[in-house]
Structure 1
Amino acid sequence: MTEPLRVLILDDDFRVGQLHRGIVDDHPACAAMDPVRSIAEARDSIRNARPDLLLADVFLPDGDGIALVRDAGIDAILISAADDAPTVRRALRSRAVGYLVKPFERRALTGLLDRYARYRNLVAGDRALRQEDVDRALAILHGAGEPVSLSRSATEQLVLAALGDGEASAAEVGERVGISRATAQRHLAALAARTVVEVRLRYGATGRPEHRYAVRT
C-alpha cells in the first residue's frame, strides 16, 4: 500500500488549523502532521520532517506565507481570505499548486487533495516519464476544466470510465485514473455495493484469487 502523503498545516488560528487537519486526515491518501501557527515553526518542520505538501495561510504574525512557499522547496496550497487579484497572482508566481479563498466548503479542499494525490501518484518514483504522462499529470493537477470541489461521484465516473467494457483490478484502475490502489478499491467497493459493478475472481497458480471488476450490464 502506498504511504500516505504527509501534509503540514500552517495557520495562526488554532481552530482553523484543527479544522483543516480533520479534512486532511479524512482523506485516504493523506496524513496530517501537527499543525503549526507561525512561519518560524513551519520552517523548522519543513527542515526537520520534510512534508510532502504544505497548506499555508498568506498573512501570518511573523511573516508572509507566499514568501515561505516560494523558498520552501516543497509543494504547497495557499489558503487565505485574500481574494484580490494581485495576491492571487503573487501566490501563483510562488509555484503554489493551488489557492483556496476562505471561507470554502469542505469538499473544495478535499477536491484539491484528490487532484494532488492523483498527480503525485502519476509522477512517483524514478522512472522516465513520457510526454503524455507529463501532460496528464499537469491536467489532473490543474483540474482540466473540473471545479476544485471534485465530488465523490465525479471520481466514481472516472473509475467507471477506466473499467470501460472490460475488467480490471483495483491496482489497474488506480494506475489508469491516477489514484492509489487503496482509493480505487474504496470506490470500486462502493460501486459494487450499489450493484453498479460486479466482482469476479481470477484464480492463479498460487495464492489468493485476484478480485477483478467490471461494469454490470
Structure 2
Amino acid sequence: MTDPIRVLVVDDDFRVAGLHRDVVAARPGFSALDPVHSLGAARQAVRGQRPDLLLVDAFLPDGDGIEFVAGADVDAFVLSAATDAATVRRALRAGAFAYLAKPFEARVLADRLDRYARMRNLLQSDRPLEQDQLDRAMSILHGGAEPASVSRSATEQLILEGLGDEEASAAEIADRVGISRATAQRHLAALATRGQVEVRLRYGSTGRPEHRYGVARP
C-alpha cells in the first residue's frame, strides 16, 4: 500500500490554516499534519515530521514564505493574497509547483492536490524518463491537455520507419528502435487508432495470440 502524501500548512491565520488542513484531510491519499503559523515552527516541522508537500503563505510574521520554500528542499505550493506579477514570478523561481491566489474555493485546492498526486506518481519511476512522460506530468500538474509533443511525433516516426514493409510485434519494434516495450505498445496503439498502423493476430499452438503490427496501406 502506498504511503499517504504528508502535507504541512504554513499560515499565520489560524482559521485559514485550519480550512486548508481540512481540504487536505478530505483528499484520498493525503495526510494532513497539524498546521504551523510561523517560519520557525515550519522549520522545526520539516526537520521533525518530514512532510512531502508544503502549503506556504508568501508573507509570515517572522519572515518570507517564498524564501523558505526556496531553501526547504520540499515540494511546495505558495498560497497568498498577493497577486502582483513580481511576487508570483518570485514564487515560481523559488520552485513552487503552484501559486493559489487567496481567497479561493476549497475545490481549487482539492484539484491542485489531486493533480500533484498524479504527477508525483508519474515521476516516481527509478528508470530514466522519456520526454513524453515529462510532458504528461507537467501537463497534469498545470491542468492542460496532454500535448502531442515533438518527442512523441519523432518516436512515432521512428516506429513507422522501423516497421518498414514488414509486420512486427511490439517487442521487436522496441528492439529495433531502442525504446521500451511499453513505450512501443503505447505509440503503436495511438498509430492504430489514427489508422496509420494495422493490427493483426498471429495464433500459435498454445497461449494467447500475438499482436502483429504493420504500416497501413492506402
Q: Identify the TM-score tier after normalising by the shorter chain.
A: 0.5 to 0.7
Q: Distance in 2 between matches of 1:40 and 1:87?
A: 22
Instruction: Give 2:143's aligned residue.
Output: 143
Q: Give aligned-pair identity as a percent.
A: 59
Give the structure, 1 or 2, with the largest relative contact order (CA under 8 Å, sep 6 or more): 1
Pair member with larger Rg: 2
Secondary structure of residue in 1 paired with 2:8: strand
Counterpart residue type for residue 40 of structure 1? G
Instruction: Give 1:131's aligned residue.
Output: 131
Moved over 6 A (4+): none
Q: Distance in 1 between matches of 2:110 and 2:29?
A: 11
Number of residue-to-residue matches in the alignment: 147
Q: How does 1:6-85 map to 2 (within 5 A)?
A: 6-85=6-85
Q: TM-score, normalised by structure 1?
A: 0.65
Q: TM-score, normalised by structure 2?
A: 0.65
Secondary structure of residue in 2 paired with 1:44: helix
Q: Distance in 1 between matches of 2:87 and 2:135?
A: 27
Cα deviation, residue 143, structure 1: 1.7
Q: Distance in 2 between matches of 1:114 and 1:24?
A: 10
Q: Distance in 1 between matches of 2:63 and 2:141?
A: 28
Cα deviation, residue 145, structure 1: 5.8
Counterpart residue type for residue 70 of structure 1? A
Matched, 1:100 2:100: yes
Instruction: Give 1:4's aligned residue.
Output: 4
Instruction: Give 2:192's aligned residue.
Output: none
Instruction: Give 1:122's aligned residue.
Output: 122
Q: How does 1:175-186 map to 2 (within 5 A)?
A: none
Q: Distance in 2 between matches of 1:145 and 1:44?
A: 39
Q: Distance in 2 between matches of 1:145 and 1:40?
A: 39
Cα deviation, residue 127, structure 1: 2.8
Instruction: Give 1:204's aligned residue.
Output: none
Q: Distance in 2 between matches of 1:91 and 1:72?
A: 13
Counterpart residue type for residue 123 of structure 2? V
Q: Distance in 2 between matches of 1:6 and 1:126?
A: 21
Q: Distance in 2 between matches of 1:31 and 1:130?
A: 30
Q: Distance in 2 between matches of 1:93 and 1:17?
A: 24
CA RMSD of aligned residues (A): 1.6
Counterpart residue type for residue 12 of structure 1? D
Q: Distance in 1 between matches of 2:128 and 2:93?
A: 27
Q: Distance in 1 between matches of 2:61 and 2:52?
A: 24
Counterpart residue type for residue 45 of structure 1? A
Q: Distance in 2 between matches of 1:86 and 1:52?
A: 27
